[in-house]
Structure 1
Amino acid sequence: MEAKIVMEQNITKIMDHNEFCSFATVEGNRPKQRYMALYNQGLSIHLVTDRKTHKVEELEANPHVSLLLGYEKGGTKDVVEIEGTCRVSDDDELRKQIWNPEFKGMFTGPEDPDYVILKIKPVRIEYTSDSGEKHEWIE
């Protein structure tokens, strides 16, 4: 159990140092990927989007997602692959907590009905440290 806690701390540390991730959903039977800003509190992973985007429709049809982060300019040299499920949340407290003034270009404020949070529940995480060592976390 202690090893799992240490692994979760390592994964969290990597996520804390990577602002962006590649986020994949399934549209029909095909993967669809895009870059998104990453927000996390430990292994609680959140992405911000507009309710009117195709992502929301894709997630309603199939909640399985994949994220890839790391090894980018300004981030860490570690690579993290996350498999999980996603649900769309319009929880007011969470929206206020994640709100950033930079969102003003897309939303009127944290109360904007189109401002939603994608909540990712990881089921499997694989990460490769910058030394090439692989680790796997399973829910």
Structure 2
Amino acid sequence: MNDKIKLEQEIAKIMDHNKFCSFATVEGNKPKQRYMALYNQGLSIHLVTDGKTHKVEELEENPHVSLLLGYEAGGSKDVVEIEGTCSVTKDDELRERIWNDDLKPYFSGPEDPNYVILEVKIGRIVYTDKDGDTREWIE
């Protein structure tokens, strides 16, 4: 098996076991970070947010983002650092697929106009396993 594909599978497995990530955007010229729920299918990454938050405006001005996952309580002890760009997706099928009961306190349903899915386009991933071995994945 190709080394890149094997690394992709390892990273996806780590992401499957980490339901939250630290998500950083750029506001003005400064980084802004917050925890967010992570939804992934392989290396396809999505985040849910309220369309009325500043995140959407920040991404329109500067789409560059960074995600960090794997070391928080309840997560694996592998660390995944992701750099990429992020945008709001208009994919209604994806909105339906990601929708779950945990979102009910915040949104009326998948048709709620404030229910927004962010899509991360990965440029680079740095993966550090439990033993401290680091590998890099580049698109």
The bucket for the TM-score relative to the shorter chain is: over 0.9
Aligned to 1:109: 109
Aligned to 1:91: 91
User: Is the contact made by 1:90 and 1:115 (CA closer than 8 Å) also made in structure 2?
Assistant: no
Letter in 2 for 1:103: L
Aligned to 1:9: 9
SS of the equivalent of 2:26 reads strand
**Aligned partners of 2:10 and 2:124: how far apart in 1?**
15
The farther-off stretch of 26-35 and 82-91 is 82-91
Aligned to 2:38: 38
**Aligned partners of 1:58 and 1:72: how far apart in 2?**
25
**Aligned partners of 1:138 and 1:3: how far apart in 2?**
12
Aligned residues: CA RMSD: 0.9
Q: Percent identity?
A: 75
SS of the equivalent of 1:38 reads strand
**Aligned partners of 1:91 and 1:56: how far apart in 2?**
16
Q: How does 1:1-139 map to 2 (within 5 A)?
A: 2-139=2-139
**Aligned partners of 1:4 and 1:99: how far apart in 2?**
31
**Aligned partners of 1:72 and 1:107: how far apart in 2?**
26
Give how far 1:11 is off.
0.4
Give how far 1:90 is off.
2.9
Give how far 1:120 is off.
0.3
Give how far 1:24 is off.
0.1
Structure 1: runs of 5+ lacking an equivalent: none
Letter in 1 for 2:31: P
